[in-house]
Structure 1
Amino acid sequence: MKIDSKSLRYAHAEGHTDVCYSEDGRHIITCGNDGDVRIWLDIEDDDPTSHCVGENAIAVCFKDKRLYVATDNHAVQAYTFPAFDKDGIITRFTAPVTQISSTPKIEALGCSSENTEAKICSLEGGAPIFVMSNQNGPVLSIAICPLMKYAATASGDGNMRIWDIDTQKSVKEVNCVPKINTFYAAKVLCRMSFEPSEGKYLAYPSNKEIILLDCESWGQRMSFTHNLIKCAISQCVFSPCGQFLAGSTVAGQIAVWEVGTGSCIDIIEHPTSHNVTSMAWNPKGNGILVYCDVAGQLGMLVNCYGKDSSQFDNEASEDVETVEPMDDEILDNLIENYESEDENENAISLEKLKNETLGLVDRDSRPESREIISAPSTVPPQPPFQPSATPAHLEHRYMCWNSVGIVRCHTSENGESTIDVEFHDSNHHHAIHLNNYLNHTMASLSTTVLALACETPSKLVCISLVGSSKEWSASMSGTEEILCVSAASGLVACATSARLLRLFTPMGTQRQVISLSGPVVSLAGFNTTAMAVYHHTEPGISDQHLAMDIIAVNGRQVRCKTVPVPLSAGSKLTWLGASDAGSPSMLDSSGSLRLYDVASGVWMPLCETTEHSRGASDTWFIVSVSESTQKVQCIMCRGANFPLTAPKPIVTELPLQIPVCELDSEKSQYEEQLVRWSHTAADVDLKMARETALKLFALACRSEIEARALELMELLKDERLLPLAAKYASRLGRMHLADKLTDMAETWEREADKLNVAQNIHFQELESQETYDVSSTDQDTNASFIPPQKDVKKKIENGTPIKPVPIKPSPRAARNPFKKQQESAKIVPSTLTLTERTLVEVHATDTNTSSDDALKPLEGETFMDWFTRNKPLLEQSQPELTPAELSRHGIKTFKSSQTKITSENGQKRKLDESTEDPVVTNAPKQSKLSAFAFQKKT
């Protein structure tokens, strides 16, 4: 008979949900993420009994007329049934309890926890009977043999372990669990099950099949699978009679096999393809199976034994329970015949062998109507969240914790709520205490404004922190609800359910309304820039597809740039923010922190927080990211995803580090520093950057890889570093490399169309005082890791005054007093090179004597003061020069004027120095003797 599926019922809030039966099979007990335990008479029960046990309840188990519930305080609490009175605590853990398991024949409970431990405890509490430790990941599930001889655990480190309870040692390990670092991120729970009669066999899921192990030899006896199963099986459970085995996949498929024959009775597809979190057989043995999924829904399957479940009464159920779990002779003969085949015929499938031996019908010959291949299931879309905030259902929670301050919310038992705001810098603003009359659930804090919002009634309330602390509010229209809110120093943004991003000024002016391309996930801001992350497309089989709009507001202009959001495989976005330099930053659930370099347009992984965790279940709560100090401020959360409000946690700093290859080597460490400094606003001076680059060059030379050393200098492209590298190469005796570096310098000199190489000769003292700004976004990131001298030119073009450096007068710059200059001669643009043209313009005389007097330096006047005073006059006299060329022209004029003053005081000059530089004018060219030629009088 075909298995029938009942309609799903809402049981609990979305999240992990657990289910079990009472021992008489008359009640269904469920618990869920809302912290309630519900007792159902049947799936059709419209009014189940509900009891609140805390903020969440992960696991529930019924044993000897008592209920055992895993509460949010990491304890296993006992309750009487059906009165539901507290009846003691069985055991405690330091992290959430993931499963509670037991069998009718034993007087103990098996409890697994996320703190990498599992325990077998007495029903009366006290010291545990057996503690299964030394597991390198959160323990996802536990199963106990009905004879209390063996126990099995599955942990997030990838291994299933089988323990001997008598010797309290591990007897076997099987690698069958996908590796995860927290129970809440696990899709495959690897729920195992011992055969319920004598515990002869252990069934456990392994990818798309269920493996049956012999508990004596621990060898594989059988495997259960089907071609319709398209994804990994998450759990399996034996029926009370031991003759049937049920398994569920992460896509919600539930299959039932007959253990004796290995045939699949039927496969049921979940209506919404949600992952099944728990299953339980009815102890009456009537073929009824109940299950719960991650959406908090309760479902039921009937006729799972291939017969009508309504025909089973209490007497029949007792008969079924006394039947032998399986025919061992048939199973042993089946395995023996399979193992005795010739080696050349070992390729015979197990399914075919069953058909030939037992005369079974091939399951692939079922009617085509049952051969429907379902579409691949997708993960549910991530709901919106506030960065650096804890869950909203907590009584004491953080609404916001960032680099400015902390916003806490406290809810009392009578429903009254208050909000406390604490600033890290008390000089900036005093602490704030508010009564939360509107039941605000979202908050964001900046240096200028505190933004509060709630979904219903959807209203944005902002308190200005500048001046008189004025308060303003804005109500959403119609049924529009606020989902996320963000406050920056120059902007307040909120994203609504209508897929609108509303921008306000800090004082309440509505600035802009922007439509988002998908449902919002999170918001962040920096100065006058808002960053909105939303679902770009529907989620895939395991990944979220997110994108981010970077919206910059400048006066009346609004600019937007859309970039995809990279996430680790199977992870979700857990934090969104901006660094102290304004770079967008994000953290996913796998612990990878990434930063977006706006200049280059790439996402870079800058910190793997899991490498700094002590336990597999530890997570990091991000507070802020600093590019200047190259640190991440965060809070360690042991065995949890968020910190507690009391006691106040300690903020820890983690270093930024790009995960380059072979990070343990010295070469990779220097390379990582150069790459990280070139893409972040690191507070690194010129000396340290050059030392790091030179050390990397030295390593290449010592490794006798001259090509790499030459390639490094070409990559760095720093004219000031090249002489040092050439000097180092010559000291090592690598003259060939030194010659190539010299040729490279000459090549750079010829190709420098914007930089004048003569600047290195004349302004060495000026350049020695330059500061190294690796974070400048004006630099060409594709040209060099270390900025070349073009930064100096850009600073001059931007109007930055030249630094006052004493300039030594040079006799070579003196003018020739014997040169004959015509008054009508004027300087015109020539086709000379940049250097020649500059020298010509410097030595050209001006016919305006008043200009010469104005340009004459005062006594004791420095070049800085002289250039600032005469810059307008120089620009007027030389309009065709660029700012950089004008600066060089000014220095030449200043030197020439100083030399002229010295010569007028009676100092001697050499003739060869005075005649060194010829004068180029528009006058006709004539020989030296033509000036003395006879001219006929008219």
Structure 2
Amino acid sequence: MKIESKPLRYAHAEGHTDVCFSEDGQHIITCGHDGDVRIWLGIEDDDPNSHCVGESALAVCFKDKRLYVANDNHAVQAYTFPAFDKDGIVTRFTAPVTQIMSSPQIEVLGCCSENMEAKICNLEGGAPLFVMMEHKGPVLSVAICPHMKYAATACGDGVLRIWDIDTQKVVKEVTCVPKINTFYAAKVLCRISFEPSEGKYLAYPNNREIILLDSESWGQRLTFTHSLIKCAISQCIFSPCGQYIAGSTVAGQIAVWEVQSGTCMGIIEHPTSHNVSAMAWSPKGNGVLAYCDIAGQLGMLVNCYGQDSNKVNGDSEDIEMVEKDDNDDLVENLIHNYESDDDNAISLEKIKNETLGLQTEQDSRPQSRLAAPAPSAVPPQPPFQPSSTPAHLEHRYMCWNDVGIVRCHTAENGESSIDIEFHDSSLHHGINLNNYLNHTMASLSSTVLALACETPSKLVCISLMGSSKEWSVSMPDTEEILCVTATSALVACATDARLLRLFTTMGTQRQVISLPGPAVALSGFNTTVMAVYHTTDPRLSDQHLAMDIIALNGRQVRSKTVHLPLTPGSKLAWLGCTDVGSPCTYDTAGILRLYDIASGIWMPLCDISTHSKGASDTWFIVSISEPMQTVRVILCRGTSYPLTVPRPIVTEIPLQIPLCELDTEKSQYEEQLVRWAHTNADVEVKTARETALKLFALACRSEIEQRALELMELLKDEKLLPLAAKYASRLGRMHLADKLSDLADRWQTEADKLNVAQNSHFQELETQETYDVTQDDMNSSIIIPQRIKKKVESVVPIKPVPIKSSPMGKRNPFRKQQDTVKSIQNPLSLTDRTLVEVHTTPETMENNDPLTPLEGETFVLWFSRNKSTLEEQHPELTPSELTRQGVRMFKSIQNVTEGPQKRKLEDSTDASVTNASKQSKLSSFAFQKK
């Protein structure tokens, strides 16, 4: 008889729900996230008895006319049945209890918890009989064999452990559990079960299979699967007679197999494809299976044994049914073989099954004859708001960043309010809003607060500059907002129509951009927006994401697409920018990455998971500071998200690039130099040189002179070279000291040759966009940060400025010299850049007679003729820096000399169009004036 599914019933609020039967099979007991325990007379009971045990209840078990419930105090509380009076506490944990199990054959309780412990306890309480403590993650499930000889636990660290209760040691470990750090994030619960009569088998789920282990040798005995199962199996449970086994998947499929033959009795699809959180067989042995899902619904399957569940098992009826099933299988096999032998035969039943998608006879054959199923794929990651908590929580964070905190509070009557708190009270006072539009998304910047709701989809923004001004925009009827972000200059939202809509902070519609895939998250900095989306569907375990960096500069819009790296099997957990504008991502595996716009590479900044003390601890990212080299995070102990009450504490974690052997002194110095060079670290050049010299000293003491020499060639710091040579001579490394002494002369020679050879090439670089830095960074150190070097060396000592001659014989001696510090550009800026440095001195821009190049004179001849003059004007520059300064002066003088020449109308028009990105609109008409 075919398995039938009863209509689902609402049992509890959305969340993890557990179910069990009373020992006589007359009652169904459920508990849920709402903290209630309900006792049902059957699936059709419209008025079950309800009892509140706390704010939440994760597990329930019936044993010897008592109910055992896991409450929100992390305790296993006993209740009398059916009076439901408290009858003592069996045991306590320091984290939520994830499962309580027992069976008619044993007189103990098996309990497991998120605190990485599992216990075997007496029914009356007291000290536990056995505590299993070698887990490295939250324990998801526990099982005890009928003879009390073995116990098994499935842990979030990925390992299934089998324990010998007598010796209290692990006898077998199997890697089959998906790794997670909290029970609430687990989709695969890995519920395991011993064969109830003799305990000769242990069943556990492994991907899309259920595997039976022999309890004597712990070798694999049988495997159960089906071609219709397309995703991972979450739990399995033996029937009370031990002849059948049921399994459920994360997509709500429930399948029942016969153990001896491996025949699949049938597969039931969940109506809404919710993950099944618990299953329980009726102790009557009538083939009734009750189950609950994560939406808090209660369901029931009947006829799971292939016979009418209304009839209790009888010997004669069982024999008759088995004989009928055998004859039916024999006839169906003969028909199948006849059809397969004749290629021209037509099977109407087969055509109907293929057309309607019904289960065929081939699907019910043993596993040995089934084709290998195709590998399953993980579902695409849904869109989310960075630095926010889930929308279904009553009290949640809508946004928490370096500007402020946005909270949402929902009352029992459905009324909702939004509180905005600013870290800097001088920026803006706190705001309290009535959330009458049911906003679920928020983003906060120093200039605007952006709120968005899904249905009807509407964007509401409150300006924080001056008096608060509110504006709103309604999306078209066919679009819904998926994610939103606000910066100091822009507001952006991504919709399900794969459109990115950009607005100014006061509500002007700025741009509409089509995204290549479904949006996942948005973030921004100043005039730049980062949009992460799916490039393709996920495969076995990886999400395929990409990021568009969209920069707005006036009327120009420029974009750059980069692939988003993720740890295998992880998802994107946070997207944002550092305080200087570098894009950063954080995945669920705990890896924080930074994207360098200049080099176009992703660099892992820190493995935050290494700072966790417990396997169930998670981190909530708030902000990242590059100058301070820290990450501001919130530690969530045993949970995935921070609680609103009490207010969590924000801590700082130092950045540390995951180089090899970080426990050694050499790797620590290397990590500091690499991190300082590739981030905007606020570190003095003196400290960087001291670290480099310590690394040089380690190489010398290790008697690896070639590494020491290689380090100095890599650094290319002329001021560090004499110190290294002096240290080498003190250690008696005279050969190394001689090589270091010759290194500076070689650098100067190579620099001069390179400048002369590429002099003509430099003339062409001004019109190219791809060169962000050119000759200023040639022959420079790739480890010691050059921006720090420029910052220190740009400090000009106070001294009288010599009065130089001018072509007209007049000069103002009191004229202020322009600032020599080069302006720091936004790392996200994609606008055009020129090679002319900002700190070019005013003297080089004037047409001085001694420095004016002769007609047809090249840079080499001009530099050799004016080298002494340049040395007098810039005594603080080194020879290589003086050469680069000469190139800039030579080019600027040439531009001044050649600028006023007459041009044709066509040439001036082309020039204005070519240089449109570097000139203002008015300056483009400079040569058209008559």
Residue identity matched to 1:284: K
Asked whether 1:570 is paired with 2:574, we answer no
| 1:749-776 C-alpha deviation (Å, 9 max, x unpaired) | 223259989xxxxxxxxxxxxxxxxx99
Asked if structure 2 preserves the Cα contact closer than 8 Å seen for 1:292 and 1:298, the reply is yes
Counterpart amino acid of 2:413? Answer: N
Equivalent position amino acid for 1:785 in 2: I
Q: What amino acid sits opposite 1:426 in the alignment? A: S
In 2, the alpha carbon distance for the partners of 1:373 and 1:17 equals 33
SS of corresponding position for 1:854: coil
**Alignment-derived partner of residue 391 in structure 1:** 390
> Could you tell me which amino acid in structure 2 is paired with residue 437 of structure 1?
Y
Q: 1:524 to 1:303 in 2, by over 3 A?
A: same
Indicate which of 844, 854, 859 corresponds to 2:810.
854
Q: Distance in 1 between matches of 2:61 and 2:779?
A: 62
Residue 893 and residue 652 in structure 1: after superposition, are their counterparts in 2 closer, same or farther (change >3 A)? closer
Find the aligned partners of 1:806 and 1:187 in 2 and give their Cα distance.
71
Per the TM alignment, residue 653 of structure 1 is displaced from its structure 2 partner at its CA by 0.9
State whether structure 2 residue 151 is matched by structure 1 residue 195: no
Secondary structure of the structure 2 residue equivalent to 1:710: helix
Equivalent residue, structure 2, for 1:723: 722
Instruction: Please list, as runs of the form range in 1=range in 2, the aligned pairs for 1:634-649 lying within 5 A after superposition.
Output: 634-649=633-648
1:69-218 pair list within 5 angstroms: 70=70, 74=74, 93-105=93-105, 109-120=109-120, 131-146=131-146, 151-162=151-162, 169-170=168-169, 172-178=171-177, 179-186=179-186, 188-197=188-197, 199=199, 202-205=202-205, 210-214=211-215
Distance, in Å, in 2 between the alignment partners of 1:19 and 1:777 is 69
Q: Which residue of 2 aligns with 1:803?
A: 796
* 1:496 counterpart residue number: 495
What is the Cα-based RMSD across aligned positions, in Å?
A: 4.8
Residue 700 of structure 2 aligns to a residue whose secondary structure is: helix
Matched residue type, 1:533: V
For residue 713 of structure 1, give the secondary structure of its aligned residue in structure 2.
helix
Counterpart of 1:785 in structure 2 is: 782
Alignment partner, residue 472 of structure 1: 471
Q: Matched residue of 2:379: which SS?
A: coil
> 2 CA distance for matches of 1:778 and 1:409?
53
Aligned-partner residue type, residue 283 of structure 1:
P
The verdict on how the C-alpha distance between 1:85 and 1:381 changes in structure 2, with shifts beyond 3 A counting, is farther
CA contact (8 A) 1:855 1:870 kept: no
**Paired-residue identity, %:** 68
2:537 is the alignment partner of 1:545: no
Point out the more displaced range, 678-687 or 265-274: 265-274
Shift of residue 414 of structure 1? 2.8
Matched with 1:653 is 652
**Could you say if the C-alpha distance between residues 663 and 547 of structure 1 is closer, same or farther in structure 2, counting changes exceeding 3 Å?**
same
* SS state at 2:465 partner: coil
Q: Is the 8 A contact 1:806 1:862 kept in 2?
A: no
Between the two proteins, the alignment pairs up a number of residues equal to 786
**CA–CA distance in 2 between the matches of 1:652 and 1:227?**
47
2:550 and 2:7 map into 1 onto residues whose CA distance is 43
CA distance in 1, matches of 2:85, 2:194: 31
Number of the residue aligned with 1:507:
506
Pair 1:379–1:51, CA change in 2 (3 A): farther
Deviation at 1:618, TM superposition (A): 0.8
- Cα distance in structure 2, aligned partners of 1:388 and 1:861: 48
- Paired residues of 1:804 and 1:864 also in contact (CA < 8 A): no
CA spacing shift, 1:92–1:418, aligned 2, 3 Å: farther
Shift, 1:314, TM fit: 2.5
Q: 1:508 to 1:726 in 2, by over 3 A?
A: same
In structure 1, stretches of 5+ residues that fail to align are: 322-362, 758-774, 810-841, 843-848, 899-938
Distance 1:366 1:789, change over 3 A: closer
**Letter matched to residue 217 of structure 2:** G
Query: Are the equivalent residues in 1 in contact too, given 2:16–2:32 (CA < 8 A)?
Result: yes
Please say if residues 211 and 224 of structure 2, whose CA atoms lie closer than 8 Å, have aligned partners that are also in contact. no
d(CA) in 1 for partners of 2:775 and 2:520? Answer: 33
Greater Cα shift, 84-93 or 636-645:
84-93
Q: Following the alignment from structure 2 to structure 1, what is the Cα–Cα distance between the partners of residues 598 and 154?
A: 46
Deviations 1:532-562 (A, max 9, x none): 2222211212122222222222221222222
Aligned to 2:243: 243
Deviations 1:897-923 (A, max 9, x none): 99xxxxxxxxxxxxxxxxxxxxxxxxx
Which deviations, in whole Å up to 9, do the C-alpha atoms of 1:650-673 show, x marking residues without a partner?
111111111111111111111111
Matched, 1:453 2:452: yes
Q: Decide which moves more: 11-20 or 239-248.
A: 11-20
The structural deviation recorded for 1:418 is 2.3
- Judging changes above 3 Å, is the alpha-carbon distance between structure 1 residues 546 and 267 closer, same or farther for their aligned structure 2 residues? farther
Q: Is 1:220 matched up with 2:218?
A: yes
CA contact (8 A) 1:277 1:293 kept: yes
Helix, strand or coil at the partner of 1:137: coil
Name the CA shift for 1:123/1:502 in 2 (closer, same or farther; >3 Å): farther
CA change 1:300–1:779 in 2 (3 A) is: farther
Quote the residue 2:263 is aligned against. Answer: 265
Change (3 A) 1:756 1:573: closer
Partner Cα separation in structure 2 for residue 850 and residue 206 of structure 1: 85
Question: Which deviations, in whole Å up to 9, do the C-alpha atoms of 1:700-730 show, x marking residues without a partner?
Answer: 2222223322322232223333333333333
CA distance in 2, matches of 1:600, 1:683: 20
CA contact (8 A) 1:480 1:496 kept: yes
Which residues in structure 2 correspond to 1:883-902 (within 5 Å)?
892=869, 895=872
Q: Give CA deviations for 1:314-333 in whole Å, capped at 9, x if unaligned.
A: 35399999xxxxxxxxxxxx
* Distance apart, 1:632 and its partner CA: 0.8
- How far apart, in 2, do the equivalents of 1:887 and 1:7 lie? 95
Partner of 2:749, secondary structure, is helix
Q: Which moved more, 1:4-13 or 1:737-746?
A: 4-13
Quick one: structure 1 residues 894 and 279, their matched pair in 2 at CA, closer, same or farther if it must change by over 3 Å? Answer: closer
Tell me which moved more, 614-623 or 186-195: 186-195
Letter in 1 for 2:648: P
Aligned counterpart for 2:314 among listed residues 291, 316, 322: 316
The one-character-per-residue Cα deviations of 1:263-317 (angstroms, maximum 9, x if unpaired) are 3122766759987654433323233445566788877666554xx3217613539
SS in 2 for 1:558: strand
Q: C-alpha offsets along residues 315-365 of structure 1, whole Å, 9 cap, x if unaligned?
A: 5399999xxxxxxxxxxxxxxxxxxxxxxxxxxxxxxxxxxxxxxxxx999
* CA deviation map 1:110-155 (0-9, x unaligned): 3321111234456677876655445322111012344666543222
2:765 aligns with none
- Contact residue 856 and residue 897 of structure 1 kept, 8 A: no
Partner AA of 2:181 in structure 1: N
Identify the residue that residue 836 of structure 2 maps to in structure 1: none
Alpha-carbon distance in 1 for matches of 2:111, 2:531: 42
CA distance in 1, matches of 2:459, 2:212: 56
Tell me: CA distance 1:473–1:301, structure 2 relative to 1, closer, same or farther (3 Å): same
Query: Which whole-Å CA distance do the structure 2 matches of 1:276 and 1:47 have between them?
Result: 22
Q: How does 1:529-928 map to 2 (within 5 A)?
A: 529-753=528-752, 784-786=781-783, 803-804=796-797, 806=799, 851=807, 853-854=809-810, 873-874=846-847, 878=851, 880=853, 892=869, 895=872
How far the C-alpha of 1:876 sits from its partner, in A, is 7.3
Query: What is the deviation of 1:20?
Result: 3.9
Cα offsets for 1:182-204 (capped at 9, x unmatched): 33444553322233235465444
Taking a change above 3 Å as real, the CA distance of residues 477 and 221 of structure 1, as seen in their structure-2 partners, is closer
Measured against aligned partners, the alpha-carbon deviations of 1:591-646 in whole angstroms (never above 9, x if no partner) come to 22222222222222222122111111011111111111111111111100111122
| Deviation larger for 181-190 or 200-209 | 200-209
Q: For residues 882-904 of structure 1, give each alpha carbon's deviation from its aligned partner in whole angstroms, at most 9, with x where no partner exists.
A: 99999996993895999xxxxxx
Kept in 2, the 8 Å contact 1:287–1:304? The answer is: yes
- Structure 1's 33 and 520: CA in aligned 2 closer, same or farther, altered over 3 A? farther
Higher Rg of the two aligned structures? 1
Distance 1:562 1:573 in 2: 17
